[in-house]
Homo-oligomer: A and B are copies of this chain.
């Protein structure tokens, strides 16, 4: 029995292109495979969002499925994820398409609700006990993504087919592997796990589809972070392709973020991106990722010195631009800043020192967004997770942009990523790695004037974002900081999610509450 793993990209609602891609892979599998498996969500894309509530889009999906049905060669069984309506109810499911047979539907039982997904908003539950079919005497069980994680109960099976749209987070691929391994060992049968790949908004699907034999050992694995297609002989002993060890964590993150940024730009129709290059680490790393995703000629850096910008910042911004071979524009914001100060506050100075700092950050945003208006270029924000957590950024200032590529990396992880990148491509000079982080919005300002050093701060943030309670006075102070800055995060640009605790769709806290003080 030969099974084709079609680890494809998908783009929400891109029905026609996805159908063409699917038909091409069906042709590639013809004569070589008995089955071809596509990811959860199939033609529609995943997650379907509220578009699923408009029946027209389901009709469009079904029209394309019909077109696929007309192209099925004899002997090839197609398992395609998708969404289906039955008696006014919607289901997340899989359809089995075979020449000369009516389509057979399977419905996801365990709906995803606890993290980024909201499946109970749309879907009713299916039953795993009904999600099987027979092929040459084999009982083949269908499992859809979340189904594998809940110790699923179904009769003894001969083969497990798992169709997924499972986004990347650290160690997620291990979790999938262990869950499927337990099932193969329980049923003493092989399993095929097919995952989606590519970015969709904030989410990055990492691929890494795999086949386990009946003892739970890895028979083959598809590439991570890129489309892949493999045909595997399920019951034969020989491996199809050497399995490469998973990349290091910073390397995983680098690949994930580049893929996410690339697909975000493709999907939003941007070929170019620009960003403020401050001479600090965050903007340098975002610039590197943008160049990898879009090419150096499509990235423009802006050096926007103000009254507190140091010479070192200029040197480092220029060095990064030169190393990455991008064009660097310069605009001194001091004259505008001074004029605004005099205009708004005449001779007296603002009472709150933050007023002056925010003013500088917001004038920079004005320059960057005006450039975005003039050219079709995506403004990249350079905020990191530690900043987002502590509200250490200016709303409508540095917290602006169409996307925050490193919004899910703690500051210490940004440095870790930079050091990892330096191993193969020395982008980040030693001076940059060693200089103390600063927003340079007031004289001799350092982040450590307002926050604990990141080496102390980040582990506390990790603990608190994992829903642990604060104990020490410092932890309580940071806890307070996190949950009193929700108003900034509510208006922050979207980020690329790479952890289980991102400030994205899965972060659900109120702006106003009494949990801190009561």
A residues adjacent to B (C-beta < 8 A)? 11-17, 45, 49-51, 53-57, 60, 111, 113-114, 118, 120-121, 200-201, 264, 267-268, 331, 335-336, 339-340, 343-344, 350-352, 354-355, 358-359, 362-363, 365-367, 369-370, 373-374, 395-396, 400, 402, 467-469, 487, 490-494, 507-516, 518
Check A11/B513 contact, CB under 8 A, given A111-B120, A118-B508.
Answer: yes
A12 lies within 8 A of B492 (CB): no
Bound CA span A513–B60, Å: 14
A494 x B511 contact (CB < 8 A) = yes
Contact at B358–A369, with CB atoms within 8 Å?
Answer: yes
Residue from B50, B336, B359, B514 within 8 A of A11 (CB atoms): B514
Tell me if B370 and A14 are in contact (CB < 8 A). Answer: no
Chain B residues, CB < 8 A from A14: 514, 518
A490's partner among B50, B359, B494, B507 (CB-CB below 8 A) is B494
User: Which 7 residue pairs of A and B lie closest in terms of their CB atoms, listed nearest first?
Assistant: A267-B512, A13-B515, A355-B373, A14-B514, A12-B513, A120-B120, A13-B514
Closest to A123 in B: B113
Return chain B residues, CB-CB under 8 Å to A396. 362, 365, 369, 396, 400
Bound Cα distance A118, B509 (Å): 12
Q: Whole-angstrom distance from the CB of A124 to the nearest CB of chain B?
A: 11
B366 contacts A351, C-beta separation under 8 Å: no
Which residues of B lie under 8 Å from residue A370 when comparing CB positions?
A: 344, 350, 355, 358-359
**When chains A and B are docked, how far (Å) is the Cα of A507 from the Cα of B370?**
29
A325 to chain B, nearest CB (A): 25
Chain B proximity of A148: nearest CB distance (Å) = 19
Q: Which of A264, A366, A367, A494 has the most CB of B within 10 A?
A: A366
User: Known contacts A118-B118, A400-B396; is A351 also within 8 Å of B339 by CB?
Assistant: no
Complex interface: chain B residues within 8 A of A16 (CB): 518
Contacts of A374 in B (CB 8 A): 350-352, 355
In the complex, what distance in Å separates the CA atom of A226 from the CA atom of B343?
Answer: 44
Which residues of the partner chain B approach A45 to less than 8 Å between Cβ atoms?
A: 513
Chain B residues lying within 8 Å of A469, measured Cβ to Cβ, are 54-56
12 A-B contacts, Cβ less than 8 Å apart?
A13-B513, A13-B514, A49-B509, A54-B467, A120-B120, A200-B512, A335-B339, A344-B367, A362-B362, A369-B395, A396-B400, A494-B511
- Give Cα A12 to B121, complex, Å: 24
Contact across chains for A358 and B373 when beta carbons are under 8 A apart: yes
Which residue of B53, B56, B264, B335 contacts A512 across the interface (Cβ within 8 Å)?
Answer: B264
**Contacting residues, chain B, for A359 (C-beta < 8 A):** 366, 370
- Contact status A267-B366, CB under 8 Å: no
Given A13-B516, A17-B514: 6 more A-B contacts, CB < 8 Å = A45-B513, A51-B515, A350-B370, A355-B370, A369-B396, A402-B487
Contacts of A512 in B (CB 8 A): 11-12, 200-201, 264, 267-268
Complex CA distance for A487 and B381, rounded to whole angstroms = 14
How far does the alpha carbon of A333 sit from the alpha carbon of B354 in the complex, in Å?
22
Closest beta carbon of chain B to A189's beta carbon, Å: 30
For A117, give the chain B residue with the smallest CB separation.
B121
Smallest Cβ-Cβ distance to A371: which chain B residue = B344
User: Given B51, B336, B373, B510, which contacts A12 in the complex, CB threshold below 8 Å?
Assistant: B510
Say how far A249's CB is from chain B's closest CB, in angstroms.
26
> Complex: how many Å from CA A343 to CA B366?
12
Instruction: Please report the C-alpha to C-alpha distance between residue A35 and residue B467 in the assembled complex, in whole angstroms.
Output: 37
Residue in A45, A264, A363, A514 whose Cβ sees the most chain B Cβ within 10 Å: A514
Q: How far is the CA of A60 from the CA of B53 in the complex (A)?
A: 39
Q: Which of B53, B366, B510, B516 contacts A340 (CB under 8 A)?
A: B366
CB distance from A192 to the nearest CB of B (A): 28
Contact A362 B369 (CB under 8 A): yes
Contact status A518-B13, CB under 8 Å: yes
Residues of the B chain whose Cβ atoms lie less than 8 Å from the Cβ of A264 = 512
Cα separation A51 to B467 with both chains bound (whole Å): 8
With a cutoff of 8 Å between Cβ atoms, the chain B residues found around residue A268 in the complex are 487, 511-512
A366 to B366, CA, bound (A): 9
| A358 and B379 alpha carbons, distance in the complex (Å) | 15
Q: Which of B111, B201, B350, B518 contacts A60 (CB 8 A)?
A: B518
The distance in angstroms between the C-alpha atoms of A138 and B314, with both chains bound, is 80
Kindly state the separation between the CA atoms of A45 and B509 in the bound complex, as whole angstroms: 13
